[in-house]
Amino acid sequence: MPRKLKAAVAQLGPIHLADGRPAVVKRLLALMREAHAAGARFVVFPELALTTFFPRYWMTDQNEIDRFFEREMPGPDTQPLFDLARELGLGFYLGYAELTQEKGELHRYNTSILVDADGRIVGRYRKIHLPGHSEHLPDAPFQHLEKRYFEVGNEGFKVWRAFDAVVGMCICNDRRWPETFRVMGLQGVEIVALGYNTPTENIHHPEPLHLRMFHHLLAIQANAYQNGTWVLAAAKAGKEDGFGLIGGSAIVAPTGEIAARTLGEDDEVVTATLDLDLGDYIKRTMFNFEKHRRIEHYRLITERTGAKVEV
């Protein structure tokens, strides 16, 4: 019996500072209805999908920072997403800023959740590869303060069984790191869901715009192929209060080919029917890990963090 899943990525156009949660959730609900009308059973939303990409702003008042965080999930503003998921039988991936209390201490993570078609949270991922910096960069056109506002995720790269598939999650910058996908690949991942906010400008080194899109697609296509997995990548796109984010939301097949891609920089849904067995031949042949991996030669990957020239 072939395993097929119609899945969607729901790109979001800009969310401005002045846009409140209820207005954003209304947009997400409309995208869910559109994905469902197209026959999808799973829809992927972007990273930090409930607010503007706030790490671009330098803030020192913790109360001001915490306005961008969710203290509960679902909470009063986000409950309608879960209700609609249950009503439509449509699961989703949602990225948001998580404020949680553990052992009496507050923690802040850049988080995504996997919600099944019954509207239940079945998985949670806390972003591990936090990009950017923690200090104020006065000469930069904008900030990228993920290292200031979030802790490194403490739950690893897990996979979950959902939609009759093995599903993993990662967030934005994680997609550029082969380790992210290989750890999930070693757990037999079949779908990697990922949301992202990629500024059009590299604040650390000038890069032409086309290179930003090229690197995004290069990373998700290569990692899909090298692990024989589908990748569902959802962008927040367009100009948020004048600050540009690339679009390019895509559904990538285990062959590394793009099966669907958004065209614009606004709210947009694209879908594809995933053949969940397509990655099997890649996992059995070219990337048969059991047969071909040589872990005795990979020690440096876990023993050394930075590159060191010793010759």
Torsion of CA 81, 84, 89, 90, to 10 degrees: -40
CB atoms within 10 A of CB 161: 12
**Which of 47, 190, 265, 268 is an active site residue?**
47
Q: How far is CA 237 from CA 5, 77, 174, in A?
A: 26, 23, 18
* DSSP H/E element including 185: helix 178-185
Closest residue by Cα to residue 274 from 193, 172, 184, 153 = 193
* DSSP H/E element including 92: strand 91-102
Nearer to ligand CDV, 57 or 289 (CB): 57
Cβ of residue 216: shortest distance to ligand CDV, in angstroms? 7
Nearer to ligand CDV, 262 or 271 (CB): 262
Residue 283 falls in the annotated catalytic set: no
Nearer to ligand CDV, 69 or 287 (CB): 69
Residue 265 falls in the annotated catalytic set: no
Nearer to ligand CDV, 249 or 271 (CB): 249
Cβ of residue 175: shortest distance to ligand CDV, in angstroms? 7
Look up tokens 């010759």; give the residue. Answer: 311
**Which of 98, 146, 170, 172 is an active site residue?**
172
Nearer to ligand CDV, 24 or 172 (CB): 172
**Which of 70, 98, 127, 190 is an active site residue?**
127
Interface contacts to ligand CDV, rule CB under 6 A = 47, 131, 172-173, 176, 196-199
Cβ of residue 303: shortest distance to ligand CDV, in angstroms? 25
Residue 127 falls in the annotated catalytic set: yes
As to burial, measured by CB atoms within 10 angstroms (0-12 exposed, 13-18 middle, 19+ buried), residue 33 is: middle
106's CB contacts (< 8 A; 6+ apart) are 99, 100
Q: At what angle do helices 178-185 and 209-227 cross, to 10 degrees?
A: 20
Q: Which residues have a catalytic role annotated?
A: 47, 127, 172
